[in-house]
Structure 1
Amino acid sequence: MKKRSILTVLLVLAVAAAVLVSGCSSKNSGSAGDDAKDKKYQFVLITMDSLDEHWLSVKAGAEEKAKELGNVSLTFRAPADKSDPNEQVRMVEDAINQKADAILLAPLDQSALTPVVEKAYDAGIPVIIIDSPVKTDKYTSFIATDNLKAAEMAADKLAELIDGKGKIAIINAQPGSGTTMMRENGFKDRIKEKYPDIQIVTVQYSMGDKAKALNQTLDILTANPDLAAFYATNEGSTVGVARGVKEKGVAGKVKVVGFDKSQDIINALNEGLIQATMVQNPYQMGFLGVQFAVDAIEGKSVEKKVDTGVKVITKDNLDELTK
């Protein structure tokens, strides 16, 4: 009887201990979950400039995703001068030194930014490359338009507009940018491959500056009064060309195929100053960039390369534009 009582007491103590351990474990697990949920992240978004609507749309997408997640603080930075990639290099260095949790970067120059991108990646910081490439695979994800495909689409559209023949000019943005060089070279290759009666008379670089592109347009039209069309590779170049053909009085006669979306470009389409523009999805680049950075930090799988798509927009399908 005494032995049975001792066994009963021991059994009760064992059950009580098990319940206590289980309770502590549950409490600790809940605390860890709460800690993960409450973790705050500091991200830095660095674009090519802070003026083009393309980059402001990237910023808007990134800010929307950060707001949706609720635990991401986003710092937006951009160089004052598009022609100086070293300023971007310093910005990435700053982000590394300040121990940012992730860096989202649209590189001005694919070679100049490569070493500092590798430095950030080697430091364990997720690096999301947006819009334009770098010459390394040491990054977390590359989110961009398929610019070679877009350039081919632009060439086909321009050829259609001028019936496959005539003199044309290209006004590009930055000569060192991977994105704009793909747009230039992809366009040239397509023209050479499919349209032997189209002659490219000049290629000039506006650095994305609208005023510079305007002056280049006027000079090209003066030197080539029989010019059939222009191809412009970004928002600033496109707007500058549109203003140039208007000022010269050749709107509609000289066709224009541009790149990107802004209110100025929409207005130019409606006025007949340009006939088509290649519209990307910069909002989605920023939106996905923040999500992918968080996923990488939390150990989730992230796609190495994402094509965010492109559309040929004309006056007839303007209603297809989204934010």
Structure 2
Amino acid sequence: MGATARRSWLTLVVVAVLGLITACSGKVGENGRFGVVYMDAQGFYAGVKAGMRQESEALGRAPQLLQLNAQGDASKESTFVDQVSAAKVDALILSPASATASVPAIKLAHDSGIPVICYNTCIAEDKAREYVSAYVLGDPVKFGALLGDQAGDYFRSIDNSAPTIAVVNCEFVEVCIQRRQGFEQALKAKVPDATIVANQEGATIDEAIDVAERILTAHPDVDAFYGEAGGATMGAVRAVQARGKKTVVFGSDMSTEAAQALADNTILKGVVDISGIAVGKLAARAADQVRRGELTTYTVVPAPIDLYGKPEQGREWLTMHPDGVP
């Protein structure tokens, strides 16, 4: 099969078999088509999908969604973007896997006349201003600062003026670096002698468990973990549980497991969260505005940030999210 034939066949495959969702009756695709990329399979992205569907239904123009879980792989993302660009979707909505490696794919979509909407993560700002129409973003520095402030209050409450903190990170994306910066600034404003004793990558739960266990071996008396993302948070919680340590965890991204751990109030002492549902709604709205010519220049769309710092808030979250979709 020649290159042109392969390209045509792949385009047909995208249109025919990638996760298609139509939220209302009628001919498939009659309200347009969006290409959607989820960075991985964590619960946040299930919330994004649900939010996009809900907002599209509310707007009365629910598009067909062509979807990909990129699994953090910029090459998979690039192949998908190439396919949906050839299929001439009405918008590309994605959380890019890399601030740099994702640039060529996003440029391709832009050059193909397809509006690009980033959410959660994006490419470097100078390139985003050139190729991206909108970026749905919860301020990452504020995100980290809310949790750093919570951690500072906790350590003051137990009279620990010089706590040691280990970070389990997702710093292959810029927003996670900014989350840590916000966390450290707010923490040290409350407890100036706090010390970061380790900072290692562990974005998924399995990776984070291994990383947290190694950190606990090297620093058996570490006072707390800071998890920069959902997998990092719950991996640290599980590692502490397995070791029977008194170490506590401050983390990111609400989920059923996180809410249960917060309600238990033994290990997890605070969670900061940007609702995937809220982000999905904002992304769908931005895509619709771009499609109708109401949004014509690069725009940062602020997403709300929530802090959960009490056991009863964990229980409330479980009641409000019985399906576990954040």
User: TM-score, normalised on structure 2?
Assistant: 0.80
**Cα-to-partner distance string for 1:23-54 (whole Å, 9 max, x where unaligned):** xxxxxxxxxxxxxxx952110110101x2111
Contact 1:284–1:308 (CA under 8 A) maintained in structure 2:
yes
d(CA) in 2 for partners of 1:171 and 1:58?
24
Unpaired runs of 5+ residues, structure 2, are 1-28, 321-325
| CA 1:192–1:86: 2 relative to 1, 3 Å | farther
Gap change, CA 1:192 and 1:85, over 3 Å in 2: farther
Aligned twin of 2:179: 183
Q: Give the secondary structure class of the aligned counterpart of 1:227.
A: coil
Aligned residues: 279
Q: Report the secondary structure of 1:275's partner residue.
A: strand
Q: In the alignment, which residue of structure 2 is the partner of 1:265?
A: 258
Local SS of the residue matching 1:162:
helix
For 2:78 and 2:308, how far apart are their aligned partners in 1?
A: 35
Percentage identity across paired residues of the two chains: 25
Partner of 1:231: 226
The residue type equivalent to 1:99 in the other structure is K
Distance in 2 of aligned mates of 1:246 and 1:71: 44
Between structure 1 and structure 2, the one with the greater Rg is 1
Of residues 267-276 and 139-148 in structure 1, the stretch that sits farther from structure 2 once superposed is: 267-276
For 1:281-320, list aligned pairs within 5 A.
Answer: 281-301=275-295, 304-314=299-309, 315-318=311-314
Residue 133 of structure 1 deviates from its aligned partner by: 2.2
Aligned residue among 99, 117, 122 for 1:133:
122
CA distance in 1, matches of 2:260, 2:187: 28
In structure 1, distance between residues paired with 2:140 and 2:262: 22
Shift of 1:320: 5.8
**Alpha-carbon distance in structure 2 between the residues aligned to 1:149 and 1:282:** 17
One-letter identity of the residue aligned with 1:239: M
SS at match of 1:231: strand
1:78 match: 69
Q: Is the aligned partner of 1:172 residue 2:169?
A: yes
2:16 maps to which residue? Answer: none
Aligned residue for 1:149, secondary structure, equals: helix
Paired residue for 2:21? none
Q: 1:59·1:76 contact (CA, 8 Å) conserved in 2?
A: no
CA offsets 1:247-271 (integer angstroms, 9 cap, x no match): 1112xx3121100011111111122
1:203 aligns with 2:202: no
- Residues 210-266 of structure 1 deviation map (CA, whole Å, 9 limit, x = unaligned): 12211221221122122111100111111111111111112xx31211000111111
* Deviation of the 1:153 alpha carbon: 1.4
Give the residue type in structure 1 aligned to 2:179: R
Q: Distance in 2 between matches of 1:201 and 1:70?
A: 51
Deviations 1:264-320 (A, max 9, x none): 111111222201100112211111212221221111236811111112102132366
1:122 aligned residue = 111
Alignment partner of 2:55 out of 61, 65, 69? 65
Question: Which contiguous aligned blocks of 4+ residues in structure 1 show a shift greater than 6 angstroms?
Answer: none
CA distance in 1, matches of 2:183, 2:107: 30
Contact 2:263 2:312 (C-alpha < 8 Å) held by counterparts = no
Find the residue that maps to 2:307 and give its secondary structure.
strand
Q: CA deviation at 1:192?
A: 5.4
Tell me the residue number matched to 1:220: 215
Post-superposition offset of 1:193: 5.8
Matching residue of 1:41:
32
Aligned position for 2:323: none
**Structure 2 counterpart of 1:46, one-letter code:** V
Give CA-to-partner distance per residue, 1:83-141, whole Å, 9 cap, x none: x3222122222221111110001012111112321232232211110011211212111
Secondary structure of the equivalent of 1:226?
Answer: coil
| Alpha carbons 1:65, 1:291 under 8 Å: kept | yes
Shift in alpha-carbon separation, 1:111–1:188, aligned structure 2, 3 A: farther
Separation in 2, partners of 1:286, 1:93: 23
Pick which of 291-300 and 141-150 moved more: 291-300
Q: Distance in 2 between matches of 1:39 and 1:172?
A: 42
Q: TM-score, normalised by structure 1?
A: 0.80
* Structure 1 portions without partners, runs of 5+: 1-37
Cα pair 2:166 2:196 within 8 Å, conserved:
yes
